[in-house]
């Protein structure tokens, strides 16, 4: 391994100067810079990032804690996050927790042991206390897309207005003349997505619908779970004409269930999702959904973490990214004429 010392020797300077050439070339005489660069090239020198991290007191690594990257939302998020991190010279560690607190804790231990200098936590079964501990050890902790009613009092949080997202879906469906609604509420991790539901329910009420017009059913963040939940829901409430799912995967499962029950989407049943994953527009019928600014949230979270890392500061602010947006596609339509069913 070629070290900085060898480069120094060859360029007839000391290590300090080589180090400066690499990081503040303007502080070094141009000719010296030239000589050092030449030596670096000739020797094929690459700075040892581990040594650098040790000397500087921080690594160029950020960790991303998520429950399971196989959920299609995450790859989209990771892609954007990685790009932002790379732009700023950082690397991304993917930490799949499988929603297992033991795994999550193990990761936190390592990260607290200076594996990464910052960490984006997308969800977790852990209490806020354990995360605060890590933050107190000097790691930049950023909560991302947290859905608790009460945002953290000690950790910064990047999120979007989930209630508004739910409301968008409700207004759309209500505007199409629907009267009997079903809601599929996911609970991938970090508890049920109740804020999304609340936003939906509240907007329904605002549009004059009674509480009885909405039937809620709980599920998990998967296509299969959305399918099962919808089968049960439509069995119990065959008169439903509109379903809101708190995420797209469940919405797609709902459409498949409808198809299997002989219901046409959107003629017999309208379905609206939430997230706008890539599959949403690829699926047939294309899913009407509320788009979350995924890439923007990812980039913002990384940027915030890096600000904290590099500024050595901490914050507990709440950052709410751009509002969600309704994307109307093929899965929603006017409520079927009421004559068709009792």
Partner DNA sequence: GTGAAAGCGCTAACAA
Partner DNA sequence: TTGTTAGCGCTTTCAC
Tell me if 70 contacts its own copies by CB under 8 A. Answer: yes
Site string for DNA, 10-29 (x = CB under 7 A): --xxxxxx-xx-xx---xxx
**Could you give the CA distance from residue 146 to residue 132 in angstroms, rounded to a whole number?**
15
Tell me if 230 contacts DNA by CB under 7 A. Answer: no
- Choose the stretch contacting its own copies; rule: CB under 8 A; options: 51-59, 156-164, 165-173, 315-323: 51-59
- E strand residue ranges, the chain: 61-66, 91-96, 118-121, 140-144, 157-159, 181-185, 214-218, 242-245, 270-275, 288-291, 318-320, 325-327
User: Which of 12, 27, 29, 137: binder of its own copies (CB under 8 A)?
Assistant: 137
Percent of the chain that is helix, strand, coil (3-state, to 5): 45, 15, 35
Spatial strand order of the sheet with 242-245 comes to 214-218, 181-185, 242-245, 270-275, 288-291, 325-327
User: Which of 278, 312, 323, 341: binder of its own copies (CB under 8 A)?
Assistant: 278
User: Cα 224 to the chain's mean position, in Å?
Assistant: 21
**Could you give the CA distance from residue 108 to residue 116 in angstroms, rounded to a whole number?**
10
User: Which of 9, 43, 47, 207: binder of DNA (CB under 7 A)?
Assistant: 47
User: Which of 37, 43, 94, 231: binder of its own copies (CB under 8 A)?
Assistant: 94
**Could you give the CA distance from residue 283 to residue 151 in angstroms, rounded to a whole number?**
35
Partner from DNA, its own copies, none binding residue 68, C-beta < 5-8 Å depending on class? its own copies
Let me know: does 249 contact 226? Beta carbons within 8 Å: yes
Contacting DNA within 50-109 (CB under 7 A): 51-52, 54-57
Residues engaged in binding its own copies (CB under 8 A): 1, 46-51, 53-54, 59-61, 68-70, 72, 74-76, 78-79, 82-83, 86, 91-96, 103, 106, 109-110, 112-115, 137-138, 223-224, 252, 256, 259, 278-279, 282, 284
Residues engaged in binding DNA (CB under 7 A): 1, 3-5, 12-17, 19-20, 22-23, 27-29, 31-32, 45, 47-48, 51-52, 54-57
């Amino acid at each position: 391994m070629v070290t900085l010392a060898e480069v120094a020797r060859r360029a007839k300077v000391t290590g300090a100067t080589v180090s400066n050439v690499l990081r503040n070339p303007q502080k070094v005489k141009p000719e010296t810079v030239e000589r050092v660069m030449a030596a670096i090239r000739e020797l094929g020198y690459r700075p040892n990032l581990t040594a650098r991290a040790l000397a500087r007191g921080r690594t160029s690594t950020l960790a991303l804690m998520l429950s399971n990257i196989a959920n299609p939302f995450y790859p989209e998020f990771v892609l954007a996050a990685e790009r932002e991190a790379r732009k700023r010279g950082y690397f991304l560690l993917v930490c799949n927790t499988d929603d297992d607190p033991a795994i999550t804790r193990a990761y936190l231990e390592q990260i607290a042991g200076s594996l990464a200098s910052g960490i984006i936590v997308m969800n977790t079964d852990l209490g806020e206390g354990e995360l605060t501990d890590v933050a107190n050890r000097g790691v930049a902790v950023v909560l991302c897309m947290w859905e608790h009613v009460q945002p953290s009092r000690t950790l910064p949080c990047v999120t979007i207005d989930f209630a508004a997202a739910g409301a968008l879906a409700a207004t759309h469906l209500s505007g199409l003349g629907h009267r009997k609604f079903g809601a599929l509420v996911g609970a991938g991790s970090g508890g049920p997505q109740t804020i999304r539901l609340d936003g939906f329910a509240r907007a329904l009420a605002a549009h004059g619908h009674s509480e009885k017009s909405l039937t809620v059913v709980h599920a998990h963040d998967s296509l299969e779970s959305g399918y099962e939940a919808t089968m049960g829901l439509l069995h119990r409430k065959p008169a439903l004409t509109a379903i809101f799912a708190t995420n797209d995967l469940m919405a797609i499962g709902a459409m498949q269930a409808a198809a299997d029950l002989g219901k046409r989407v959107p003629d017999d049943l309208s379905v609206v999702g939430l997230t706008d994953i890539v599959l949403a527009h690829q699926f047939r019928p294309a899913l009407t959904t509320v788009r979350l600014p995924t890439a923007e949230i990812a980039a913002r979270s990384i940027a915030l973490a890096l600000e904290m890392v590099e500024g050595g500061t901490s914050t507990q602010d709440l950052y709410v990214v751009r509002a969600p947006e309704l994307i109307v596609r093929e899965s929603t339509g006017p409520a079927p004429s009421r004559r068709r069913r009792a």
